[in-house]
Structure 1
Amino acid sequence: MKKKIFNIGWLFAIAAIASFGFTSCDEDRDSNPTLDLSHVAEGFVLNTPANAANNTYDLASAETVALTCSQPNYGGVPYATRYYVQVSDNPAFLNDTTVDHKELPTSYTTAKMAVDASELNNAVVELFQKANPDTDYPNNVKPIYIRLRAALDGTSGMGQTYSNIITLPKTLATYVAPAAELPTQLYVVGASIGTAWTTWQVAPQVYGVSGNYYTIVYVPAGGQLKWGTFENDWRGYNRLRTIKDEAQAEISESTDGNSNITFKNAGWYSLLFTGEIIGKSVQYDLTVYPGKVYVIGNACDNWGDADASLACTAPADQTGQWVSPAFKQAGELRAYIKVGTHQWWRTEFTLYKGTTVYYRDFDIPDSWSQGAREKAVPAKPDPDNYSIQCSAGQRLYVSFDTGTGEMK
């Protein structure tokens, strides 16, 4: 067997080098950069541009707005820092940074920034529209208020600190209409929907008909509604191109200045919104029909669209449930809200997992289960939960106000 022979002199040399290295690091420690976050509360300085008082910043036409600042004090060492631009059009921002403001999507890594002017423009317009949802943006010269948020680059906000706030006294923002797109659904809100003026009830798209949206609501005498393309998008009577009353609801615009859609007569109503792209905007019309709900299909032994014998009984108001006729035999639940001349299967719904109203949004070649499994895009992960089987003598009970139902 071979023996390993160690060179003792070599081992002593290695130990000496290691000892020297440790000593050197220890002695040089005071000259190494040290991160110091004790000054972050002091902030840093954002400079007001030299000609800000005389220049008018046309944000929609300009490419950039030049900003410069001092570096935050992280211990006297110029650590890599990322800067974020925040803007407000509210003068209260000067003294209260909790008032509404927006942070621009682009951030910067130098203390000299060419800020994207279009981002500033869009932020100012969005802030105005949020505060004034039913008012067109006025393209007037006005001041805006800017500050910077800074943090160590590459961290999740370490060393976060804020600059002072500067004023650009003369800025001109312009509303730039985005490319018009039809939404996938609309919403309605009102005193008789869920929690009054809080619950935004979905108006789904009529299956296979782009730009058509429907829902069913109860409105008391003198009741009012608003609508929107998203929750808290408070659109009223004045945001509709036309209104057709096919239900003798006697619809008018509220006189309180809120432009609410007002129904003189109480009742259940089916609402059909239609959107049309005109130029860079979508114009909407509303048609109001009597609220009617039906069942149909094998369980009824009847496939007649809007057959009077298959009509569900309406509750007295939104707090009750619609009740179907008793099913004649076993079969799959097929039910729908009747909306104008649209075929029944375009406004069909089921009870997902037997309890939650689910409006049809995929092809159903034979049954809800098959459609969810084979025709939905993307395919549903639990297709059998869309198909509800009825027994002879059972009835459908459904609340459109709560979006729930049951078979019993």
Structure 2
Amino acid sequence: MKKYFKSALLLLCSVCLFAACADDNDSNPTLKIPETFVLNTPNYAGYTVDLKSTTDSLSLSWSQPDFGGFPVAAHYMVQVSKGDSFKVSQEQADADQTGAKKADYANLSSVLTDCKYKYSAEELDKLIEQLNGWDETNIPNKANVFVRVMSYIPTSTGTTDTVYSNVVKLNVAPYYVMLKAADPELWYLIGACIGDGQWTNSADAVGTSMIPMYVAPDQTYNTKTGKGIIEYVGYLTTAGFKVVKTPGSWDDQLGSSDGALTIVHNDGGSSNICVPSDGYYKITLNTENYSMTVVPYTPAVSTYPQMLIAGDFNGWGTSTAMTACASSNNHDWFYDLDTSADKTTAKFLTDSSWSTNWGGNDFPRGAGAQGGANIPVDAGKYRVFFNDITGVYMFMAK
């Protein structure tokens, strides 16, 4: 038995997109909403997955729902339940100010357009720990986890009827981890016009071939997923670039469908993103839905031949130079800071006169202001990034 979706708006849009002319509508496929679709059982479902010792990504795959041959670009979300009930989502529980609603499932992924997904054991562990309310005193040696995929068709007015896959049961050995607000999700620029232009995709290349995007001032981020809006301002050329989520992997990336500025997420045949002319641009990425814009940046920009970093860690000396990420038109700098012994402070400056310097109250990331406060730095090892156009900075733990 299949449900027939009758949204006049969607069908009208579909006719505009796919119908050649009015007199051959009878031969066009009719959109049908299936009852379900197949989530494949992964091979690791056959044994207990030790979430603490599993370092490789875990994969899921599924078949595209059968919409009766209708050309549909479906979206997907992977969902995890602690008891195979899928009655109250984490979002519904969070929105309930009375506290009466308790979540029994949550989204493991954000919005996907491919019929596959890779996730880490740590992501799954944190999710089920939160759903079950475990702490270090009651976390079990083994637990069952239930996974399904939700599919829907996006429209300009919302979504159509949702379709759910079958449920797959996983057996896991969880471990306790102290839960805290998730760090903002970072993505990295890479390409012929980024850094050294060598397209070296590796963790060691962050700062040379890859430049991280920065948190956006005055933005808030999902405390559970870290998703939200991140930005980058810098000089781009027509040589092209892409954006990747994880250094060393091309699995999650943003490219172009037309070799220009039409951005696509995880499109297997995507081209490089190319600006129409060399110049300064602002890139804005919403990591919740992978929408991204690249627009000209018009304010005046100053260029500095060097950037220094100073603080208690070096006695406020003015000779500690940062490294330029690019050889020309550079505005991003990095420095490897080792302050393992104790907490410290830091500021950024252009020369020993201190006439141009940036500081701020926030750590490990924030927006520095001219003549701002000393940045409080926790003890640790960091690769410090600074953008001299916007003043944003980031202390990335090593």
TM bracket (short chain): 0.3 to 0.5
TM-score, normalisation: structure 1: 0.32
- Would you tell me which structure has more helix in proportion to its own residues? 1
Which protein shows a greater Rg? 1
TM-score, normalisation: structure 2: 0.33
